[in-house]
Amino acid sequence: MSDYGTSLAGRAPSWRDEAACAEAAEPEDWWEPFDQQSLSRALTLCSLCPVQATCAAEGLALNWQTDHGGVYGGLTREDRVHVRYRRGHGSDPDVAALAVARREALEAERHAEGLRARRKALQDAAKAAWRERNRERLAEAERERYWARRQAESQPA
């Protein structure tokens, strides 16, 4: 990343040049509306960023009218609104802890989603096995009825 001096654009370097997201392949992950996967990618990258605290502070410096969403320092717009509200009421929440808690909640939700998908796959497999077993039983019963009818027809009355 950049050092002292000027960047390629001919401007003085800023903390943004050092941000992990500065060279991200998918910058749309940082802007709303989020899907679960893109938000998770953004928060994971933010957690590894060397300028996370500075970025979060910049996001919190936006007022509610100019904050158009996105992720700043691991905080979504909803998180920033919460922090601003708490600060306005005499409390100063730990922003880094909030970002970590948000990421952990997303990971737990993703894990639960995986468990739900696995449980559904097991249920589908059990239903398929039940249908196959019943199909075999019905076929056997049908064969038995067929042979019983044939035998009854072949016997003299």
Give the tens place of pLDDT for each residue, 9-20.
Answer: 455 568 788 888
Residue 23 confidence (pLDDT): 76
User: pLDDT tens across 98-146, in order?
Assistant: 777 777 777 777 777 888 888 888 888 888 888 888 888 889 999 999 9
Cα–Cα distance between 153 and 134 in angstroms, integer?
Answer: 28
Cα–Cα distance between 62 and 36 in angstroms, integer?
Answer: 25
Q: Please report, for the chain, the start and end positions of each structural domain, with discontinuous segments joined by +.
A: 15-154
| Residue 107 one-letter amino acid | E
If one compares 86 and 90, the residue with the highest pLDDT of the two is 86
Residue 4 confidence (pLDDT): 35
Residue 36 confidence (pLDDT): 75
User: pLDDT tens across 19-74, in order?
Assistant: 888 777 566 656 766 677 778 788 888 888 888 888 888 888 877 666 777 888 88
Angle at 13 between CA 7 and CA 17, to 5 degrees: 90
Asked if 84 contacts 57 with a C-beta cutoff of 8 angstroms, the reply is no
Residue 63 confidence (pLDDT): 72
